[in-house]
Amino acid sequence: MSKTDTSADPMVTVGICLRNSEGAVRAVVNNVEAQSLPHSRLEVIFVDDGSEDQTLSVIRAFVSKMDIQCKVFHDKWRGLGPARNTVVKNASGDYIVWVDGDMTIPPDYIKQQVEFMKEHPKAAIAQGNIAMSQNMSLVATLENSYYYAVGCKNLGSPTDRPLGTCGSIFRVKVIKQLGGFDEKIRGAGEDVELTHRVRASGWLLYINQHEFFDKFRDTWKALWKSYYWYGYGLHQVKHKHKDVLVVYKFFPPVAAIGGLRDSTTAYRITHRAAVFLLPLEFAFKMTAWCFGFVKAHLKAHGHDFEVQ
């Protein structure tokens, strides 16, 4: 059922980029339809990025029943940069809120993010804080605890941390002025590169107190694969922006020292004893990151090997 219209509310585009995610479509749609912001002030843009399963047909089946204006795009697989640019180029809203297939947002989440942007006119991007979840694997618990603690430490003031798209609200005019996402970046890191340009242009980034739930990698194998692709993509970002990251901080021994420091902070905030394993987890995932980074470096110089 449509929510009551309020003409003072800005139009919001919900960007949903999916690939081989037929099982996640229902949950994503339910998340959006439950939002308290008037549905007439929302539009949803789905981008199916070359799925090989039934994602596209499932999206179309749900769209036919939604009371929110929807646009559906499908293309061969080109990666997240091009998929997110499809949303940016076709957005009618003043803001884009990115909703991924593995996250859950409360009913007031989009409305709260819009109100935050109204109150912070110099903010180009704001991300809610990742909520604490229960009954997860050790790997997911460590990732959840770390990111929750990081978010809590950065609430309230502009942050110099690179913000991802998951759960974030983007001011559309800023993203369009900067040319959107870099479509040449493969793996992961297109969001890190964009937030670097946003900050360099004088706009502000925030993490705010409005929480959402994210699904973290729940096995060591999945964590390895994820950070391998972060390293691969961030190699390209590093070559484009020399000052965007300090590579030595990603070396496993250095990362383990950082994990030791962050574990005490995380325990103080979360009271989870498991966080004292963060040094080992940091060393593990940054080993994967380094493999991805080296892989991208060798490929850029005409060499190739495969370790995943």
Q: For residue range 148-179, what is the model confidence (pLDDT) as tens digits?
A: 999 999 998 999 988 889 999 999 999 999 99
pLDDT-derived band of residue 304, with 50, 70 and 90 as boundaries?
low
Residues in the chain: 308
pLDDT at residue 5 tops 70: no
Q: Count other Cβ atoms within 10 Å, centred on residue 19.
A: 17
Question: What is the overall mean pLDDT for the chain?
Answer: 90
Q: What is the DSSP letter of 166?
A: T
Phi, psi of 150 (to 5 degrees): -60, -45
Tokens of 123: 């903010």
Tokens of 124: 């180009």
* Residues 62 and 32: beta-carbon distance below 8 Å: no
2-11, 122-131, 193-202, 275-284: the lowest-pLDDT one: 2-11
* Residues 257 and 210: beta-carbon distance below 8 Å: no
Residue 83: the pLDDT is 92
pLDDT at residue 133 tops 70: yes
- CA dist., res. 241 & res. 28, Å (int): 34
Residue 130: the pLDDT is 94
- Render pLDDT for 231-270 as a digit per residue (tens, 0 to 9): 998 888 888 888 778 888 899 999 999 999 999 999 999 9
pLDDT-derived band of residue 10, with 50, 70 and 90 as boundaries?
low
pLDDT-derived band of residue 9, with 50, 70 and 90 as boundaries?
low
Query: Cβ contacts of residue 28 below 8 Å, gap of 6+?
Result: 16, 18, 99, 100, 101
Name the residue type at position 34: A
Residue 306: the pLDDT is 52
Most confident of 2-16, 144-158, 272-286, 292-306: 272-286
- How many percent of the chain have pLDDT more than 70? 94
pLDDT at residue 6 tops 50: no
Rounded-to-5 percentages of helix, strand, coil across the chain: 50, 15, 35
pLDDT at residue 61 tops 60: yes
- Render pLDDT for 42-55 as a digit per residue (tens, 0 to 9): 999 999 988 899 99
* Residues 46 and 52: beta-carbon distance below 8 Å: no
Residue 1: the pLDDT is 38
The residues pairing with 204 across neighbouring beta strands, listed in sequence order, are 123
Q: Which domains does the chain have, with CATH numbers?
A: 1-218 (3.90.550.10), 219-300 (no CATH)
Residue 303: the pLDDT is 61
pLDDT at residue 4 tops 70: no
Give the dihedral sign, CA 3/205/261/288. Answer: positive
- Render pLDDT for 63-118 as a digit per residue (tens, 0 to 9): 999 999 999 999 887 888 999 999 999 999 999 999 988 899 999 999 999 999 99
Tokens of 203: 């706009």
Q: What is this structure's pTM?
A: 0.90
